[in-house]
Amino acid sequence: MENLVLASCSDKLISTLLLTLLSCVTCVPLDDDSVCTAEELATYSVVFTGKWSQAAFPKQYPLYRPPAQWSSLLGVAHNSDYNMWKTNEYASNGMREFAERGEPWALMKEVEAAGEKIQSVHGIFSTPAVSTGTGQASTDFEVHSRYSLVSMAVRIVPSPDWFVGIDSLNLCEKDHWKQKISLELFPYDAGTDSGFTFSSPNFATIPQDTVKEITSSSPSHPANSFYYPKLKNLPPIARITMIKLKRSKLGFPVPQSNGTAIGNEIDDSVSETPLDCEISLWSPWGLCKGKCGRLGSKTRTRYVRLQPANNGTPCPSLQEESECEPDNCV
């Protein structure tokens, strides 16, 4: 009898513990993208605007073979189980191919695999490439209340492995979708190629580095195409604008009537970035020339490495003369 009472008490204790554990499941914090209670589907228009002009980025600006331009934009609607790319983490093989060559196929396969294995992706979207540094491209994409994050990438062409993009931006604010988002974009280094300039030859980074933002002072090498030590911050090189589309009574997205012309040059106010003259070191002094019994003269020269632009510091004199005692007087 005593054993039965103990067994009954034990069962009640286990039941109480199970109920306590089950009740605590609802107390576990959820990821940001899993608490979206907005309408299930939303459609957005995305416009990519290049701001890569010679006035804003005069240093080594690519004018030909190839001129400054952008790859197609590749984007993903997903949840927190997937990352297309992330600052201070290693780029995937697919992201490497995209950042170095603009080839999207390997990255698209990675996205599709993530969607199939862990059901973390809602859809992929893309825009056409932009043939100038200051052009535009656009497309529409769909997000879901369970897949409310968007990530995007656009390769800077030409470049070693540089790109611009967005990492896991949440378009949902609890019970509603954001109506309009506009973000200024800055260059990133994928960490897979060690080139310093837009037109650098392929030079793999071994071992691979992590994804990092490129700034006016980092990498801190004078040869770097984005190195502007007098600037506190680089001007934005591109912009992404997303606008939620209204739906008709039948549930179809309503096209915007005031859409921007796509693929053309844009009129966007850009502050001119001053570029100072860069010169070489002085050459050795030349021979001292002159007549016997008198002071002679010798000269040395230097040359311009980089011409100034946008009211930057002008170049100093490229030749210097000094008095001397002639070695072989006449």
Q: What is the average pLDDT across 274-294?
A: 84
CATH 2.60.40.2130 location in the chain? 32-244
List Cβ<8 Å contacts ≥24 apart for 108-116. 108/74, 111/76, 111/82, 111/84, 114/78, 114/81, 114/82
Q: What is the CATH number of domain 278-324?
A: 2.20.100.10
Residue 211: other Cβ atoms inside 10 A = 22
**Where does the pLDDT of residue 17 fall: very low under 50, low under 70, confident under 90, or very high at 90 and above?**
very low
pLDDT per residue as tens digits for the range 33-65: 458 999 999 999 999 999 999 999 999 999 988
User: Quick check: 30 pLDDT over 70?
Assistant: no
Q: What is the CATH number of domain 32-244?
A: 2.60.40.2130
What mean pLDDT, rounded, does the chain reach?
A: 84
Tokens representing residue 326 in the block: 């002639």
The confidence score (pLDDT) of residue 222 equals 87
**pTM of whole model > 0.85?**
no
pLDDT per residue as tens digits for the range 200-227: 999 999 999 999 999 999 999 888 999 9
Three-state helix/strand/coil letters over the chain = CHHHHHHHHHHHHHHHHHHHHHHHHCCCCCCHHHHCCCCCEEEEEEEEEECCCCCCCCCCCCCCCCCCEECCCEEEEECCCCCCCCCCCCCCHHHHHHHHHCCCHHHHHHHHHHHHHHCCEEEEEECCCECCCCCEEEEEEEEECCECEEEEEEEEECCCCEEEEEEEEECEECCEECCEEEEEECCEECCCECCCCCCCCCCECCCCCCCEECCCCCCCCCCCCCCCCCCCCCCCCEEEEEEECCECCCCCECCCCCCCCCCCCCCCCCCCCCECCEECCCCCCCCCECCCCCCEEEEEECCEEECCECCCCCCCCCEEEEEECCCCCC
CATH 2.20.100.10 location in the chain? 278-324
Lowest mean pLDDT of 26-30, 163-167, 189-193, name the range. 26-30
The confidence score (pLDDT) of residue 32 equals 46
